[in-house]
Structure 1
Amino acid sequence: MLSFAELTSPQVAALLTGPRRPVLLLPVGAIEPHGPHAPLGTDPLISVEVCERAVRRLASHPTVRALVLPPLPYGVTRYASAFPGAVHVSEETLYAIVVDVCSSLIKQGFVDIIVVNNHFEPEHVATLRRATTFLNVGYLDLVRRRNAARLTPEFQSGSCHAGQYETSLVLAARPDLVDQQQMAALPPFTVDMPAAMSAGHKDFLEMGMDKAYCGSPASATAAEGEQTYETLADMVLELIEEI
């Protein structure tokens, strides 16, 4: 079983007294446009998939029992507000829900929690860093240099919203959600998003992303997505070892 929410209350109680230490993974993302080809829920979809793969790899671990919490699909997402489908919550709302959810679990004895995020709007990332630091729980922070260096060249370039990197991950997990005809017709479009944000550009249109993507979605493959999932799951397992 992968899901915390599928357990009964007595089964949850047994986790705290069993021989394997429980570790809970909280997938986080945002509902926002990902080009004309990828689903609005790309970010939480990736986070859930990473968590589930990590849990499967720990299925026979003698001392750790990992489970996936219900995902938090809403995040700080102002940059995509010009496009239909973007669902934004404030920094205060995101901070409060992460702190409240994790605090509720910590009070029950579930102290080993890791937040797994795949939405990288700066204000969203800063809020998760603040919340996880306050809670003293783990956080898979992919924009930290040491983690980004292990991911694909497109991810490292910063031009990777709904491009080859993210589209490959969706193709590996849910190819039925990718409009592959649209994907194949999209030309590469380079935007150094971190630099653009630092220069004060606060939405996709200001960055020239009139189709809500950058990078090279037409180059995406399920094979690349599978390889990236292995790396992301490795990172989660390393965080579990640290705690």
Structure 2
Amino acid sequence: MTYFADLSSRQVASLPDDGRVPVLLLPLGAIEPHGPHAPLGTDPLISRGMCERAASRLAADEDVHVLVLPEVPYGVTRFAAGFAGGVHIGEETLHSLLVDIGSALIGQRFKRILLVNNHFEPAHLVTLRRAVETLNFAYEGRVALLDLVRRRHAQRLTDEFRSGECHAGRYETSLVLADRPELVDQPLMRTLPHVPVSLAAAPEDGGFAEMGMTEAYCGSPAEATASEGEETFSTLTDLLVEAIRELARE
């Protein structure tokens, strides 16, 4: 696989002319509490894992050249207020950062950029979609967001994900167990009760505590397994590869 930042300036300059369509993947997420058992960096960890797996799968592809950009780990995370470890940045800050990154790359003939996000707070998602629109209309990019909450994508993921009970629950914890198991407090994880709170119904001005997520998680983390995480990563990678190929055709 190829990490964009590992290349030299001369290597990067030659990429648009190597006969393959370059598609740059930008992993996104938020640094925020994920229960008492999972790491603050769960969201960007999942995004990075997807990007690495997709780049590896397409490494020998004759038509597309996938490069993984350094991740942007900070996002809009007001829901995490009151819990230790949350690092919130505002919508305009995130929008400006993504537009600046995207416009710098578009100006170097890297127009196809795919945002890969695993933080699903509504205000964060709205900001990502707006950044894509700005880059495509103001800078003539070919930028896209793999929007996992869209029905056509969500229906291919797990029951817990579709229910909305997926913040640090079985869905996300399984993915971390598949990628970085040493970051999960597994003895504690197995003691955590099911918390039936759906983020899909979260009020825009709410927060984890107000929604009843007193330990900053919902769903069933005690049921998480590395094997489920590997299976989910495979599905997520399928979705990402499909999005890469679609973007390369534009």
Give, in whole Å, the separation in 1 of the partners of 2:64 and 2:10: 19
Runs of 4+ aligned residues of structure 1 deviating over 2 Å after TM superposition are none
Percent identity between the aligned chains? 62
Confirm whether residue 76 of structure 1 aligns to residue 82 of structure 2. Answer: no
Structure 1 spans left out of the alignment, 5+ residues: none
Give, in whole Å, the separation in 2 of the partners of 1:65 and 1:192: 38
1:237 corresponds in structure 2 to: 241
Confirm whether residue 227 of structure 1 aligns to residue 231 of structure 2. Answer: yes
Conserved? CA contact 1:23–1:67, under 8 Å: yes
> 1:11-65: per-residue Cα shift (whole Å, max 9, x none)?
1011111121111000000000000000000000000000000000001101111
Q: Normalising by structure 1, report the TM-score.
A: 0.97
1:9 corresponds in structure 2 to: 9
Confirm whether residue 208 of structure 1 aligns to residue 201 of structure 2. Answer: no
2:88 corresponds in structure 1 to: 88
2:180 corresponds in structure 1 to: 174
Conserved? CA contact 1:201–1:207, under 8 Å: no
1:26 corresponds in structure 2 to: 26
> Which residue identity is paired with 1:179?
D
> Cα distance, 1:196 vs. partner?
3.1
Structure 2 SS opposite 1:79: helix
**For 1:101-140, what aligned pairs fall within 5 Å after superposition?**
101-136=101-136, 137-140=143-146
1:162 corresponds in structure 2 to: 168
> Cα distance, 1:201 vs. partner?
5.4
Give, in whole Å, the separation in 2 of the partners of 1:196 and 1:138: 26
Structure 2 spans left out of the alignment, 5+ residues: 137-142
Give, in whole Å, the separation in 1 of the partners of 2:202 and 2:59: 42
Number of aligned residues: 241
Give, in whole Å, the separation in 2 of the partners of 1:63 and 1:203: 45
Give, in whole Å, the separation in 1 of the partners of 2:13 and 2:206: 46
Greater mean alpha carbon deviation, residues 70-79 or residues 14-23: 14-23
Give, in whole Å, the separation in 2 of the partners of 1:145 and 1:21: 28
Structure 2 SS opposite 1:207: coil
Structure 2 SS opposite 1:25: strand
Structure 1 SS opposite 2:79: coil
1:100 corresponds in structure 2 to: 100
Q: Normalising by structure 2, report the TM-score.
A: 0.94
2:40 corresponds in structure 1 to: 40
> Cα distance, 1:135 vs. partner?
1.5
